[in-house]
Amino acid sequence: MTESRNVKRLVAVLLVFCLIPVFVPAGAAAESTTLVVAASDSSEEAKAQATYICDGSDDHVEIQQALDALPAGGIALLMEGTYNCAGNIQPGDSRILQGSDENTTVLSYPGSGGLRVRAPSVTFADFTVTGKADMIIEDDHTRVRNVTMTVDNSRIAAFYVWAANDVVEDTVFENCRAIDCGRYGFLNSGEGSPRLVKDIAYINCTAINCGKDSYVSTGPWVTGFDIVEKNDIDGAEVIGCYAEGNQESGFHLEGFSYLNIQNVRFQDCISVNNAQKGKDACMFGAGFTVPKGVTLENCTSVNNKHGYLVSGGSVSKGFSNTFTNCTDEGSDYGFTIRHGYDITMTDCVSKDAARQGLVLSKAWNIKAEDFRLIGAAGYPLHEGSSEQTAVKIAGTRSSDDQFAYNMWDGAVTDSTLDIHAEGCGTDTVVFLEDAQRVTLTGSTDSAGANPVKVAGGTAVDTAGFTTGAEVSAPSA
């Protein structure tokens, strides 16, 4: 799995560099003015080049002075060393704050502060931030490249895009990392009107172990990448990104009905071992929580609560999602749609689901094409039920899920499902309860007496689903 994951990430990076322009700092001129800043522990050679030399206390002051002295397109270059900061650093229009290398240039915040973008065309590049800090972006055309954040839970997120009565447009994160953060790794949110994040990109970014120290009120919902919290979004590209070990979901979008979500695309992303607060304690706990307006291509989920979860939250609906060539391995539930419609899954795979590989509840106009179900262990159709099944096409009751509150207890209707199952751990592979106008095609190698069960409902067609002896019999 590690080798496969690395190959996928390498391919994603190569594709990115082929398809998008070479990174140029926002607002940078062909020849930029550079002012050098040295830390108190920088080398003597570095200090000899510096216009500003920090003394190891309130180093944000000298850094801000350098930024303020620059013309548009200018670079404040931080030499190697640790800068002890106790306040905000806020570049002006078209200014660039760049370290020598993210492994050797460190902005340390033992007290509160951080990086602020409140002017257009700001660039941050090539450094690490630690301590009680965050990066807040409130203006357009921001570029963040090769920045690592390892920060505590005193701030809501490491990388935070905030749209308050405004449109924040054209933000790019490239090769950025949120590692061991107390709360969210990457977060978009907003308030007022408009509250729109527009045309944002995450390229080869990483969120690992975010949210474990989140005992504050919003702590239970902390995720690695939160693309939509209380903001609208139009245009998001998440390419070659990786989420692992986060408190709730790896990648997440809130789905409340008042949020406008469109043109969001995940490609070649990987989400592993999330739901760290406990799978049954998570409302989402997904590799990918995608309520509406999302396309996923060639994505991978491993050992989450839900591999892929379509859920609008509360009484909202999830809709207009497309999954192509997506795989889950070892999650409790491979693919889950609860209270959703107009969703297509093409060439997707659930492998070794600890419970069920596919769960559809209160859903309609669902289309699964060549869905492969391999080795699902099976789980009761309902809490306390003797009916065990690898695929659940039925409502989800409050007793089935502590977060359900009967919101997802409803029939599956007007759907076509093509499922090819093998090696499942239950005699019943697919159970349809109260379904209406559902067509099931495909196959299973199960030789059980009833690999497909239909209880109630109307116009359920399973004639095109072959089972047991039919599958294994040699062709004429």
**Residue written as token pair 């059980």:** 448
Q: What's the pTM?
A: 0.92
CB atoms within 10 A of CB 352: 18
* CA separation for the pair 240, 56 (Å, rounded): 37
Neighbouring-strand partners of residue 189: 162
Looking at residue 1, what is its pLDDT? 47
Dump pLDDT digits (tens) for 159-211. 999 999 999 999 999 999 999 999 999 999 999 999 999 999 999 999 999 99
| Bridge partners (DSSP) listed for residue 174 | 145, 203
Residue 63 has a CB neighbour count (10 Å cut-off) of 23
What are phi and psi for residue 304, nearest 5 degrees?
-110, 180
Instruction: Report the pLDDT value the prediction gives residue 30, as an integer from 0 to 100.
Output: 44
The identity of residue 442, as a single letter, is G
H or E segment to which residue 49 belongs: helix 44-49
C-alpha distances out from residue 295 to 305, 308, 366, Å: 21, 12, 15
**CA pair distance 140, 205, nearest whole angstrom:** 20
Tokens for 442, please give them: 């495909």
Dihedral sign of CA atoms 236, 194, 231, 141 in order: positive
Distances (CA, A) of 314 to 32, 192, 293: 51, 21, 18
* Per-residue pLDDT tens listing for the chain (476 residues): 444 444 444 444 444 434 333 344 454 444 689 999 999 999 999 999 999 999 999 999 999 999 999 999 999 999 999 999 999 999 999 999 999 999 999 999 998 899 999 999 999 999 999 999 999 999 999 999 999 999 998 889 999 999 999 999 999 999 999 999 999 999 999 999 999 999 999 999 999 999 977 555 445 689 999 999 999 999 999 999 999 999 999 999 999 999 999 999 999 999 999 999 899 999 999 999 999 999 999 999 999 999 999 987 666 899 999 999 999 999 999 999 999 999 999 999 999 999 999 999 999 999 999 999 999 999 999 999 999 999 999 999 999 999 888 899 999 999 999 999 999 999 999 999 999 999 999 999 987 888 999 999 999 999 999 988 554 433 33
The CA-based dihedral angle spanning residues 275, 278, 284, 285, taken in that order and rounded to the nearest 10 degrees: 20
Q: Which residue has the tokens 């497909």?
A: 452
pLDDT one-digit tens code per residue, 118-163: 999 999 999 999 999 999 999 999 999 999 999 998 889 999 999 9
Contacts of 416 (CB under 8 A, 6+ apart): 366, 367, 368, 438, 439, 441
Amino acid (one-letter) located at 80: E
Length of the chain: 476
- Please report, for the chain, how many H helices and E strands are present, in that order: 4, 36
Reduced to 3 states, what is the DSSP secondary structure of residue 352? coil
Instruction: Output the pLDDT for position 160.
Output: 98
Cα separation of 133 and 120, whole Å?
Answer: 21
User: pLDDT value at position 219?
Assistant: 55
pLDDT at 314: 61
Encoded tokens for 398:
């409050």
- Helix, strand, or coil here: 167? strand
CA 434 to chain centre: 33
Distances (CA, A) of 48 to 45, 70, 377: 5, 20, 66
Q: Comparing C-alpha atoms, which of 286, 293, 217, 288 is closest to residue 259?
A: 293
Tokens 């990483």 -> residue:
206
Integer Rg of the chain from CA: 25
3-state SS, residue 248: coil
What's residue 220's pLDDT?
66
The reported pLDDT for the residue numbered 154 is: 87
Amino acid at 269: C
